[in-house]
Amino acid sequence: MMKRAVALLALTLCSGTAAAQTSVAEVSQLRLYSSFWQNLHHFLYVSAWATRPIVARAPRLAMPLPPEPVVSLTPEAKSTWDAAVTYYDRNVASRDLLFDDDLTRVKLALADADDTLGSVRIDEALRATLLEAAPIYRKYWWSDHDAANRSWIDRVSHQTPTVAGPIIARLTALYGVPWFTTPVRVDVVRAGKSQGAYTSNNPRPHIVVASGDSSYDGWSGTEMLFHESSHALFQNVRLAVDSAAKAANRQPRDLWHVVLFYVTGEVTRQQLAKNGIEYRPYLYATGLFDRAWPAFRGPVERHVRPFVDEQITLDRMAAELAQALP
């Protein structure tokens, strides 16, 4: 009976679901999508977190729901939607979208999904939950979410090419690796992970960015595309930083990630300045440096900036940075 109900519900999905698997824009081998299934999956994940109480100092894995008009569901629709949110709360939401291998497989599988999810390899209970929630999401939320995603993509895909060439040239020179030769998928979702964006690298790079995160407005959207892309290209720098820290008997959590933030932000800032645009990198504009990594700010500014400016080598930067850590 359940399988028949799911099949009937799947038939109610219109062809727009398949169309949503067509990319909206492409910038420097970054192919941007507003995918129905990715958005539904992430929206249910965030909606599950929204039902949980906020506990001081307890980590939250999802961003807050974006401020949007309250929708009025019919009793039947509300019952079905609440059941889907409950499923995510009990079975999905406590797992990290980035670090949980199963959720990475779900994300990659949904990138290839058709209208009925018949071709994707995911847990059958999850498949049924998504199919049952899909008509409700399409009726009450999807149109607005898709429009917001496409608006974000349109802005970022028009502004980024004006600076992409020189930024990519500098980043790849600093990383010691070439840029992507095949397109990298970027799924733009309305709501997602607590940081708003994340990238998995295995078995292939796959980026997710939340258009509902206001910290990605303006030119920070461009910086974030290069930041997330850099996760797939940063191996040499990460190895140098981690090895130097170990040699100096330091174990600084997230240091390599702070360096990644700083490098992409500073390269973006400098290129925008050449174009006559004043820009504050994400680390500073959001207060993330002082909020999350205040002890790293001085050492990173002193020792990573000369590396960005190609005044010192990667190994020297990593060694001096490690020695300067508290």
Indicate the pLDDT class of residue 3, thresholds 50, 70 and 90. Answer: very low
pLDDT exceeds 50 at position 4? no
* pLDDT (tens digit per residue) in 116-149: 898 889 999 999 999 999 999 999 999 999 999 9
| Per-residue tokens: 58 | 């307890």
| Per-residue tokens: 77 | 């629709």
Indicate the pLDDT class of residue 296, thresholds 50, 70 and 90. Answer: very high
What mean pLDDT comes out for the span 173-181?
98
Least confident piece of the model among 5-19, 25-39, 189-203, 247-261: 5-19
Relative orientation angle of helices 36-50 and 75-91, to the nearest 10 degrees: 80
**Amino acid of residue 247:** A
- For 35, which DSSP code? -
Are residues 303 and 320 in contact, defined by beta-carbon separation less than 8 angstroms? yes
* pLDDT (tens digit per residue) in 187-229: 999 999 999 999 999 999 999 999 999 999 999 999 999 999 9
Beta bridge partners of 187: 33, 208
Q: How many CA atoms lie within 13 A of 97 on its CB side?
A: 30
* Block residue for tokens 């290209």: 233
Which stretches of the chain are assigned E, i.e. beta strand? 25-27, 30-33, 184-189, 197-200, 206-210
- For 208, which DSSP code? E
Are residues 260 and 237 in contact, defined by beta-carbon separation less than 8 angstroms? yes
Q: CA-to-CA distance for 256 and 245, rounded, in angstroms?
A: 10
pLDDT exceeds 90 at position 6? no
